[in-house]
Each structure stands twice: as structure tokens, then as C-alpha cells.
Structure 1
Amino acid sequence: MHSFIPPERFFPYLTWTDIQTIPDKENVVIIQPVGAIEQHGHHLPLVVDSAIGVGVLGKALAQLEPTIPAYALPNLFYGKSNEHWHFPGTITLSAQTLLAVLMEVADSIYRAGFRKLVLMNSHGGQPQIMEIAARDIHQKYGDFLVFPLFTWRVPNVAKELISAKELELGIHAGDAETSLMLSLLPEQVKMERAVAEYPQGLPEDSLLSMEGKLPFAWLTQELSQSGTLGDPTPATKEKGDRILESLVSGWVKVIQDIYRFRQPQGK
């Protein structure tokens, strides 16, 4: 049941008495991975975002110093994926449902005595929900430190391995995600079905973009027939191994930083 997570770091394998007696509980890092079950083109399985999140987290926890207490909660497989709901297989929660789940999980973690919670999101369609949840949880419990983080935002080597066009437009089932899946779950990748498809009809010479500082709302079917936004055909396991290694190193550092973090206090 723990998948990529080291069993000794998997929160559900603890007993209630284990949890009751954990020392320095206010600095124990509890990590809630949040993924999605959604289409990823013709060649990748629905589980991509969840697999990447749990894979990166599990390998980071395996490398973390044993003296740093950190535990992974079970992955939340369902997320807000309604941009993909025209493609069969996508399962989506509403923003309100996902927010309510995160808030109620946080209530339970706080009630157990923990005071540090990471919302580790791996799906590009819901970072805003993580941020809203984190702010509302911290407002509700002033001594509860909550970190709404995106798996891919730690330092990593993707920029060294992926083309400039792909970095800008390959936001879904492209080279980076496909390479990473070839590293994590190669038997689930069907490279013979991979097709390249970049978004069509994007505004030219405009400050507006799909993602970034000035985005517009979009649905995947408006931009892609295959469900892919990018070019997965250059993907390799070797690239995936390097990207994975760099993401894991970044997450080891992030967890260390969170363990040492103290809430800033105004004068």
C-alpha cells in the first residue's frame, strides 16, 4: 500500500499510540501528496500526476536524514481536473470538494498534535486550491504551518534537457512528463502511440498565455485533439532518470527546510 513511500515513513502504518508518543510533534513534517486521475494523451496512463508526486516524494523520503521526522499521508488521487473532462477516463472533483477534503484532513492532522503540513501538489490545474487551503488552514489555526508546494518547482535539470519550445508549450504529456514516467513506471508508457501536438490558435504578439503571469481560461479539447500538449516523442528514460534525481534532491532540501522552519513573528 505504501507504493514508492518507504514503509517507515508511511503515516498509515503507524499505530495511534505511535502517534501519541512521537517526540517534538510540532516540528514533525506531515506531507499530503495530491495528484489527479486524468487523460494524458494516447501514450500515458491516467495516473501520471499521482505517480510523479508519490515517486518523487518516496525517493526523497528514502534519502532524507533519518533524524528528520517526516511522514507521507496516502496520496489524494482525485483532483480538480475539469479542463480534461471531455476525454474519457478523467475523474474530477469540484474546487469546493477538493478544498473541503484538504481542510478536513488538516483538521485531523492538527487534532493529532502536528503543526507542519505540506500540500504537495503534482497537477497543474489546482495549485490555486492548495494556496487557498493553506491560507485558510493557517488562519483557522494560527500555530499550524502549512506549505502549498508544487512538485516541479524545486530546482531541477529539465531546462537543460528539454527544448525551449517544449518548456513553453509542452505542459501536458510532453517530453518532461513522458521521460519521468519512463523512469518511474516504464511498463505503463506506450511510446508507439505517442504523438506531438502543440496548442493551436494561441494569441500572437500578446501578453496573454495559457499559463504564466497573464493567463486565459482554457479547456484541453480547445487546444488539442489527442489530449497531449507538447511533444513526447524525444522522451527517454535517461532524461527521466536525471530529472527525477534532481527533483528528489530538491525535495530532500525542501523537507529539511520545513523541519527547521519557524513562523516569522512581527514586532
Structure 2
Amino acid sequence: MHSFIPPERFFAYLTWTDIDSMPDKENVVIIQPVGAIEQHGPHLPLIVDAAIGMGVLGKALEKLDSSVPAYAMPSLYYGKSNEHWHFPGTITLSTETLSATLMEVGDSLYRAGFRKLVLMNSHGGQPQVMQMVARDLHVKYSDFIVFPLFTWRVPHISKELVTPKEAQLGMHAGDLETSIILALLPEQVKMERAVTEYPPEQPEGSLLSPEGKLPFAWTTRDLSKSGVIGDATTATKEKGIKILESVSDGWVTALKDIYSFRQPGNG
């Protein structure tokens, strides 16, 4: 049930009396992984985002000093994935359903006495939902500190391991995601089906892009026929192991920072 998470760090294995008697609950770090069940090209399983979140978090919690109290919630596997819904197998929640679910998870944790919650999101289609939920929970409970974090935003070396083109244009099911899944779930990767497909280029001099500072709304089929946006053919397990180690190191640092963090201002 705990997947990649060390069992002693898995929130759902605690009893209610464990939680009731937990010391310094205000500073215990609770991490809610949020993933997705969505297409990742012809070579990767639907569970990629959820697996990456749990894999990175599990590795980070293995490395985290035992003096830092931090617990992983069971992953929320479904997310807002409607940009992929033209591809069979994608399961998507609406913005409203995902937001309501996370709000009620937050309500429950606050009621239990916890005051630090990390929304660890691994799907690129929903960081804005995490940000809005985090703000709404903090507005609702002024002493509730909520961190809407993206799994890949901690310091890491991943882009040093791929080509400049992939680092710039690889967005989905390309080298990075394929490599890390080769490290986490190698039997679920069909490398013989891996393809390379980049999004159509915008006119020279254009300020607009799918994911840049001036983005436009898109669905995956606007950018890719295969569901891949990047180069999956260059992925390797060895590269994935390096990525997993580097990203999880970043998360160790982040979790330490969150444990010692104090909300600025007077609330």
C-alpha cells in the first residue's frame, strides 16, 4: 500500500492514537502527492506522473534525517488532465472536483492539529489548481501553512543530462520522464515504441509559446499526434537513476526548509 514510501513515513499506517499523541504537530510536515492517470505516449504507462511523485518522495524520505517529522499521504492518483482526454485511457477530474477534494483533505488535516501541508504536484496541467487551493486554505485558516510545490521545481541536474533541444521543448513523455520511469518501473516501459515528436514551431520572433511567459491554451493533440512532446528514444535507466537521486536530494532540502519555516507577518 505504501508504494515507494518508507512504511514508517506513510501517514495511512498511523493509528488515530498515534496522531492524537504526536508531539509538535504544528511543525510536522504532511505531504500530499498529487499525480494523474493520463496518456504518456505509446511507450509509457498512464501512471507516470503519480509514479514519479511517489518515487521521488519515497527516495527523499529515505534520505531525510529522522529528526525531521514528515509523513506522506496516499497519492491522489487522479488529476485535472483534460488536455489529454482525446487519448484513450486518460482519466480527468474537473478543476472544481480536484479543488474540492484537496480543500477537504486540508480541512481534515487541520482538524487533526496539523499546520503544515505540502501539495506535491507532479502533473504539469494543474499547478494553478494547487496554488489556488493553497491560498484558499490559508485564507480559511490563517495559521495553516500550505506549500503548492511542483515535483520538478526543486534544484536538480536533470536538464544537464539531455540535449539543449529537449531541455527547451521536451514537455511530456520525453527523455526525462521516460528515463525516470525506466528507473522506477522498468517493466512497464515499452522502449521499442518510443518516438520523437516536438511541437510545431511558432513564427520567428513570436513571443507566444505553449508553456512560456506568454502562453496560449492548448490540448495535446494540437501539439502531438503520438502524445509525446519530446524525444523518448534517448532515455536510459542509468540517466533515470541520476535524475531520481538529484531530484530527491532537492526535496530533502525543501522538506528541511518547510520543517523550520515560520509564517511571516501577524496573520
Q: In which range does the TM-score fall when normalised by the shorter chain?
A: over 0.9
Give the aligned partner of residue 258 of structure 1.
258
Moved more, 154-163 or 119-128: 154-163
Distance 2:137 2:252 in 1: 24
CA contact (8 A) 1:203 1:209 kept: no
Give the aligned partner of residue 67 of structure 2.
67
SS in 1 for 2:197: coil
SS in 2 for 1:40: coil
Distance 1:216 1:180 in 2: 28
Give the aligned partner of residue 27 of structure 1.
27
Give the aligned partner of residue 152 of structure 1.
152
Distance 1:201 1:265 in 2: 45
- Once the two structures are superposed, what CA deviation does each residue of 1:74-118 show, in whole Å capped at 9, x if it has no partner? 000000000000000000000010000000000000000000000
Distance 2:205 2:177 in 1: 28
- Once the two structures are superposed, what CA deviation does each residue of 1:186-225 show, in whole Å capped at 9, x if it has no partner? 1111000001111125343211111021110000011111
* C-alpha displacement of 1:24: 0.3
The amino acid that maps onto 1:93 is L
* C-alpha displacement of 1:259: 0.3
Runs (5+) with no aligned partner, structure 1: none
How many residues align structurally?
Answer: 267
- Once the two structures are superposed, what CA deviation does each residue of 1:27-73 show, in whole Å capped at 9, x if it has no partner? 00000000000000010000000000000001101111111110000
| RMSD between aligned residues | 1.0
Distance 1:97 1:208 in 2: 30
Give the aligned partner of residue 7 of structure 1.
7
Distance 1:99 1:266 in 2: 27
CA contact (8 A) 1:183 1:240 kept: yes
* C-alpha displacement of 1:167: 1.2
SS in 2 for 1:215: coil
Give the aligned partner of residue 116 of structure 2.
116
Give the aligned partner of residue 82 of structure 1.
82
Distance 2:40 2:202 in 1: 21
Matched residues, percent identical? 73
SS in 1 for 2:196: coil
Q: Does 1:183 align with 2:183?
A: yes
Distance 2:160 2:168 in 1: 14
* C-alpha displacement of 1:266: 5.3
Give the aligned partner of residue 101 of structure 2.
101
Distance 1:203 1:41 in 2: 26
Distance 2:202 2:113 in 1: 49
Matches within 5 A, 1:228-239: 228-239=228-239
* C-alpha displacement of 1:17: 0.3
